[in-house]
Amino acid sequence: MVGNVDRDVNSLGIRLYANRKTETRMVVSERQRNNISSNIYELRPEPTTLGGAIGIPSNGTRLLHRLGVYDELLTRGSSCSNVVMHSERGTVLGETDVVGAAKEATGFGYMRIKRTDLLDVFLKEVDNAGIPVRYNKRLVSISNQDDGVKATFSDGTVDTADLLLGCDGIHSAVRRLYVDPTVRANYTGLAGIGSIIPVSVLGEEAAPQLRGMHITMMQEGMVSAMSCSANDDEIYWGFQRELALPNGENDRDGWEIRREQEVSGFRELLHGVLKGAGDQWGDMLRGLVDQTSVVKFYPIFKLPSGGTWHKKRVLLLGDAAHAMPPHAGQGVSMALEDAFLLSRLLGRKQAWRRGEDDVNEVYETYDRIRRPRIDELAARSSGNAALRKKTGRLGLMLKEFGIWMFLHGSWALGMDKWGSEMKQMVYDIEEVEI
C-alpha cells in the first residue's frame, strides 16, 4: 500500500496497494477514527477471490462488530460453532463448541462465511466511504523520497505518498520489490481441494446432519464439511493431504498442471480416499463428492518467521507480513488485529510530524506488539497441520484416540474455560498497552 498526507487538514491520507480484502477494510476504519483519506490499488482487473469459505473466531468477529459490518455479515454467514469429529468408520468421536467460553467472555461467537460474501460487504463499505479502488494496477517499483514514498505501476502511472502499506498477500509484491526481497513463501507439503454446494442436492435429511462443522480423519488426510451460509443451506467441503511439489520446485509454476490433474480426477481420487469411510456418514461424504461439479485446488504456503515487516515508510500487514497455514483458523482475525493496532498507533500522536523518524517509531511499536502473538499462532497452526498428514491404519487409530481423549478430557477438566486456544479468542487488540 502507498500513502499520502493531506498537508492542510492535519490528517493522514494513505494510498493502498492491496489484494488482501480483509486489510482493505482498514481504510474505512482510518477515515472513521483518524480522519485519514485513502485510495486502494488492486492488482486484479476486477473484484475477485479464490473462493471457498473462511472461519472467523471471537477475537475477529468482535472487531468486525467495531467496524460496523458484523450484522450485515451475520445475514450471510453461518454462526453455528459446533464441531463434530468423525472416525473413518463413521462413528462420532466427540463434539464441542469451537468458541466455547470465548463467546461468553466477549459476547461474540464464530462465523463461517463465503469469501465472496465477505469481499462484497467490505467493498460496499469502502464504496460508501467514498474510497476509490483502482483496479488492474501491478506494482513494479517502490522508491523512498525525501518526504515520502513513490510507487510505480506497470501501466506507467506513478503515485507519491507519505506511507505505503503492503496488504498484497503471501506472494506480496511490496515485500518482494522493497521491504524484504530475500523472503519467499514456502510450500508446507500440504494441498487442498474443495467446493461449495447447496445442501438441497443431498436431500432433505442431509441439512440437520451437516449443520455446523464436521471433520473426518482419513489415512490419506482430512475431510471437512462445514455450513457457510446464514440458513446453513450451503456446504463448503474440502480435503487436505500431503502432496509433493511438481518437479521439486518451491514455486507456483508447476501448480497449474497439477490443478488440472487434481480437478479433472477429483471424484476418482476422493472415492479412493473414502473407500474405508463407513456407516451413513461415509455415504454422506461420498454424496458430497458426487454432487460437486466444480472444485478448487490450492497448495498451502506459509512465510518463514523472523522476516522484516517494514522499511522506511513502507509497512507490511496481514499475509504479506506473516502468512501462516490456515490450521489455526486465525488468518482473517490476524489481519484485522494488524489493522486495528496500526490505526491506534497512527492516531496516538495528534501532532504527528509525519517525518521518517515518527513513521519508524510507529512501525517499530507495531512490530514489537504483533510479532510474539503472530509467532505463537503460527507455531500452533504448523502443529495442527500434522493431523492432515498421511498415515497408516495404526497411525489413524492413534489420531482418533487422541482426538477422543482431547474432546472428552478437555470438557471433564474444564480446559474449555482456561485453555490457551480460548485465551487466543478472547484477546482484544484494543486493550493492548501501546
* Section 156-161 average pLDDT: 92
Residue 61 backbone dihedrals phi, psi, to 5 degrees: -65, -30
Of the pLDDT bands very low, low, confident and very high (cuts 50, 70, 90), residue 107 is: very high
pLDDT at 409: 66
* Pick from 385, 384, 383, 397: nearest CA to 87: 397
pLDDT at 419: 58
pLDDT at 303: 95
Of the pLDDT bands very low, low, confident and very high (cuts 50, 70, 90), residue 24 is: very low
pLDDT at 208: 87
pLDDT digits (tens, 9 = 90+) for 362-400: 999 999 999 999 999 999 888 888 778 888 888 888 888
Q: Which three cell numbers stand for residue 402?
A: 487422541
28 contacts 131 by C-beta, under 8 angstroms:
yes
What span, in angstroms and rounded, lies between the C-alpha atoms of 229 and 39? 31
For residue 12, is pLDDT > 60?
A: no
Torsion, CA 162, CA 309, CA 339, CA 349, rounded to 10? -50
Q: Regarding predicted confidence, which is higher, 184 or 257? A: 184
pLDDT at 250: 58
pLDDT at 317: 96
pLDDT at 249: 58
Of the pLDDT bands very low, low, confident and very high (cuts 50, 70, 90), residue 358 is: confident
* Section 260-274 average pLDDT: 86
Of the pLDDT bands very low, low, confident and very high (cuts 50, 70, 90), residue 234 is: very high
DSSP of 308-372 = --EETTEEE-THHHH---GGGS-HHHHHHHHHHHHHHHHHH-TT----HHHHHHHHHHHHHHHHH
For residue 222, is pLDDT > 70?
A: yes
Listed in sequence order, the residues at least 6 apart from 428 whose beta carbon sits closer than 8 Å to its beta carbon are 59, 62, 106
Arithmetic mean of pLDDT over the chain? 85
For residue 427, is pLDDT > 50?
A: yes
* Section 209-232 average pLDDT: 92
For residue 23, is pLDDT > 50?
A: no
For residue 256, is pLDDT > 90?
A: no
Highest mean pLDDT among 31-40, 120-129, 201-210, 348-357: 120-129
Instruction: For the chain, state the CA radius of gyration.
Output: 22
What span, in angstroms and rounded, lies between the C-alpha atoms of 313 and 39? 17
Q: Which three cell numbers stand for residue 104?
A: 461468553
For residue 347, is pLDDT > 60?
A: yes
pLDDT at 140: 97
Q: Regarding predicted confidence, which is higher, 143 or 96? A: 143
pLDDT at 349: 60
For residue 277, is pLDDT > 90?
A: no
